[in-house]
Amino acid sequence: MTGSSDHQKEFTVSVETLVSHGQALEQYLRDRGDYESLLQTFGEEVKKLAAFNPRQRVPVDTIARNIDTLAQWINEPYLGLKLAPYSVRRQQRLALFFTERELPLLDYLRLLARYACISSEVMRMELETTQQHIILRVTPNSPQGISRHQIEGFVASIHAIVNQARGLLPRCIDFSHPLPDPAGVPQLYTEVLGVTPGFGQSHNRLVYPNQQRDQYTLPQRPGTAGFAHLQAMEAVKRKEIGAENWASRCRFLLEILLYYGEPNKSLLAELLAVTPRTLQRHLEAEGTGFRPLLADLRQQLALDYLAREQFNNEDIAFLLGYQDVGRFFKAFKSWYGITPGQYRASHPPCPPTG
Residues 76-109: tens digit of each pLDDT: 889 999 999 888 876 655 555 555 557 899 999 9
Winning range, highest mean pLDDT, from 5-19, 39-53, 294-308: 294-308
Same structural domain, 85 and 107? no
Same structural domain, 176 and 281? no
Same structural domain, 300 and 342? yes
Strand partners, 137: 126, 205
Q: What is the structure's pLDDT at 318? A: 93
pLDDT at 6 over 50: no
- CA–CA distance, 65 with 248 (Å, rounded to integer): 51
Q: What is the structure's pLDDT at 69? A: 80
Same structural domain, 230 and 203? no
pLDDT at 353 over 70: no
Domain boundary among 166, 182, 209: 209
For the segment 257-271, the average pLDDT, to the nearest whole number, is: 95
For the segment 203-231, the average pLDDT, to the nearest whole number, is: 94
Domain extent at residue 78: 11-90
214 within domain boundaries: no
Same structural domain, 240 and 338? yes
Same structural domain, 86 and 111? no
Same structural domain, 163 and 84? no
202 within domain boundaries: yes
Residues 15, 53 contacting (CB under 8 angstroms): yes
Residues 204, 137 contacting (CB under 8 angstroms): yes
Domain boundary among 152, 180, 209: 209
What tens digit of pLDDT does each residue of 53-79 get? 545 677 777 777 778 887 887 888 899
For the segment 215-221, the average pLDDT, to the nearest whole number, is: 90
pLDDT confidence of 125, banded at 50, 70, 90?
very high
Percent of the chain with pLDDT over 70: 87
Same structural domain, 330 and 253? yes
Q: What is the number of structural domains in the chain?
A: 3
168 within domain boundaries: yes
Q: Residue 332: which CATH number?
A: 1.10.10.60
Structural element, H or E, at residue 248: helix 246-257
Within 10 angstroms of residue 159's Cβ, the number of other Cβ atoms is 24
30 within domain boundaries: yes
Domain boundary among 75, 90, 105: 90
38 within domain boundaries: yes
Higher pLDDT, 310 or 262: 262
80 within domain boundaries: yes
Q: What is the structure's pLDDT at 118? A: 85
4 within domain boundaries: no
331 within domain boundaries: yes
Same structural domain, 156 and 61? no
pLDDT at 197 over 80: yes
Mean pLDDT of the chain: 86
Q: Which residues contact 341 (CB under 8 A, 6 or more apart)?
A: 53, 55
